[in-house]
């Protein structure tokens, strides 16, 4: 708090930090005011940091390929069963 800086021979300043920081509390900011340029998303042009969760048309990725295999296996098993009958 005090702008004067004396070596910390007093015992109080050190423990204070520790307790106020614990259990994920929203922290005090180092400054009270800041310019828009210093904020996380300055200006009106927002970089797109979010992705759509269900537009995934990429069937070449591993998961889709494996799934396709699995479904094929399922079909052939079934036709196998029917052939036995």
Partner 1 sequence: MESIIRAWRTAHAEENGKLLASTISLTNTDLEEFAYSTNSARVAEDIFRSLEYENNSARPKITNKTGLEAWAEVYVAYWKVAQALERHDDVEWGQVFVNMKDLTQAVIRGFQNGLWEVWQLEILYTACKYLRYVAIRTDEAKRANGEDTWKSLEDAARIINRAFNVCLNDRAELAQSRKWGTYYIINLLFKTYFKLNAITLSKNILKALVANTTEMPDLLDFRTSDVVTFKYYCGVIAFLDEDYVKAEEHLDTAYQLCHKDAQKNKELILTYLIPTKLLTRRQLPSATLLKPYPLLESLFLPLAKCIKSGDLRGYDENLARGEDWFVKKRIFLTLERGRDITLRNLFRKVYLAAGDSKTRIPVDHFKAAVSWKSGVELETEEVECYLANMIYKGYIKGYISREKGMVVLSGSNAFPGTGV
Q: Which residues bind partner 1 (CB under 8 A)?
A: 1-6, 8-13, 16, 19-20, 23-34, 38-41, 46, 48-57, 59, 61, 63-64, 67-68, 70-71, 73-74, 78
d(CA 57, CA 72): 19
Q: Could you tell me the two tokens for 71?
A: 């479904």
Query: Minimum distance from CB of 84 to partner 1 (Å)?
Result: 17
3 state SS of 49: coil
Q: Could you tell me the two tokens for 80?
A: 């196998």
**Residue written as token pair 């396709």:** 68
51 vs 80, which CB is nearer to partner 1? 51
Query: Minimum distance from CB of 80 to partner 1 (Å)?
Result: 13
């Amino acid at each position: 708090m005090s702008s004067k800086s004396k070596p910390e021979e007093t015992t109080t300043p050190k423990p204070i930090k520790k307790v106020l920081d614990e259990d994920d509390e929203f922290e005090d900011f180092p400054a009270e005011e800041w310019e828009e340029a210093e904020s996380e998303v300055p200006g009106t042009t927002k970089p797109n940091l979010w992705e759509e969760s269900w537009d995934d048309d990429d069937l070449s990725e591993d998961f889709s390929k494996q799934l396709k295999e699995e479904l094929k296996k399922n079909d052939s098993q079934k036709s196998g069963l029917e052939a036995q009958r």
